[in-house]
Amino acid sequence: MFILSDLYRVSIGVGNRVLTPRMKQIVKWDHPAGMKYIHFWAPLMKWSLVGAGFGDMLRPANKLSLNQSISLFATGATWSRYSMVIVPKNYMLFAVNIFLAFVGGQQVARIAHYRYTHLETPNEKEKQI
Amino acid sequence: FNTNFSTHFWGPVANWGLPLAALADLKKDPEIISPKMTVALCFYSMLFMRFALQVKPKNRLLFACHFANECAQLMQLARFLNHKYGTPKPMKQYQVPSDLVQSK
């Protein structure tokens, strides 16, 4: 169950031994928000949400969840404002959340367009709500 | 409870939309679940649970939000897998005429 965390710890140990001090300086290995700590990897994983959202562009619009798209847009918009307000300013977080807001907004627009153009049968209307 | 309603509070409140949306979607058609997004959200919430406890000051509201989201996304993933691989569907090249199909 803890295989991933062991793997992570082992690779950090390997990195500590293999990298030269000059290389460590270049990649900021010992920085408190660097590659050794969760402060780096967690915001980086937020890009996977953007990627998944892009991948969802291939899905037909009636297979998208409206609730999820709205909440993605809201969280992207809120955090992109707050990442510029906190000290220190976090440009990476700003970028991720701007993209997330765009992806969420694009999904909402697709769903809205689909529902606007496909409201013929009462069966469809039932399924949508 | 920290009554200083700063970014530390409203940021996680915005993030609560995700688990609430997933909980609302539990009753809906499993067709609308997107597998990529659900798996991505599972990993994202796993990492942010630790992030919320490691950041200074500790953000327990964010931790609770991501814990709830993790549970909700795992439920959605289970529903999706059950819908896609659990219910028997005839293979494409062996389409049985609809009047002969026995509905489950």
Distance CA B12, CA B62 (A): 5
Both A70 and A94 in a single domain? yes
On the question of pLDDT at B32 being above 80, the answer is: yes
Both A82 and A20 in a single domain? no
On the question of pLDDT at B94 being above 80, the answer is: no
Both A86 and A101 in a single domain? yes
Domain assignment present for A124: no
Domain assignment present for A55: yes
**Under an 8 A CB cutoff, do B11 and A79 touch?**
yes
Domain assignment present for A125: no
Is A127 touching B (CB cutoff 8 A)? yes
Of A4 and B71, more confident: B71
pLDDT digits (tens, 9 = 90+) for B33-90: 999 999 999 999 999 999 999 887 888 999 999 999 999 999 999 999 988 888 676 5
Confidence of residue B9 (pLDDT cuts 50, 70, 90): confident
Instruction: Spell out which residues of chain A touch residue B32, defining contact as CB-CB under 8 Å.
Output: 63-65
One-letter amino acid of B79: R
Both A2 and A22 in a single domain? yes
Provide the domain count of chain A.
2
Distance CA B42, CA B76 (A): 10
Instruction: Spell out which residues of chain A touch residue B17, defining contact as CB-CB under 8 Å.
Output: 70-71, 74-75
Both A25 and A40 in a single domain? no
Both A61 and A39 in a single domain? yes
Both A26 and A89 in a single domain? no
The whole model's pTM is what? 0.80
**Under an 8 A CB cutoff, do B32 and A51 touch?**
no
pLDDT digits (tens, 9 = 90+) for A20-50: 888 888 888 888 777 888 888 888 899 999 9
The pLDDT assigned to B90 comes to 58
Tokens encoding A9: 């710890």
**Under an 8 A CB cutoff, do A59 and B39 touch?**
no
The pLDDT assigned to B3 comes to 55
Tokens encoding A35: 């590659």
Would you call the peptide bond into B57 cis, given omega within 30 degrees of 0 as the criterion? yes
Number of H helices, E strands in chain B: 4, 0
Q: Of B16, B34, B38, B45, which to mutate for an interface test with A (greatest number of A Cβ within 10 Å)?
A: B34
Both A16 and A74 in a single domain? no
Q: Give the CA-trace dihedral at A69, B87, B72, A57, to 10 degrees.
A: -20
CB B34 within 8 A of CB B25: no
Domain assignment present for A106: yes
Domain assignment present for A21: yes
Both A9 and A58 in a single domain? no
ipTM for the predicted complex comes to 0.80
Both A4 and A37 in a single domain? no
Both A110 and A86 in a single domain? yes
Q: For residue B29, give the nearest of A82, A85, A127 by CB distance.
A: A127
Instruction: Spell out which residues of chain B touch residue A49, defining contact as CB-CB under 8 Å.
Output: 37, 40-41, 44
H-type helices in chain A, by residue range? 3-18, 21-27, 38-55, 66-82, 91-117, 122-128
Domain assignment present for A107: yes
Both A56 and A113 in a single domain? yes
| Burial classification of residue A85, based on how many CB atoms lie within 10 Å of its CB (0-12 exposed, 13-18 middle, 19 or more buried) | exposed
Q: Which domain holds residue A100?
A: 33-118
**Under an 8 A CB cutoff, do A82 and B7 touch?**
yes
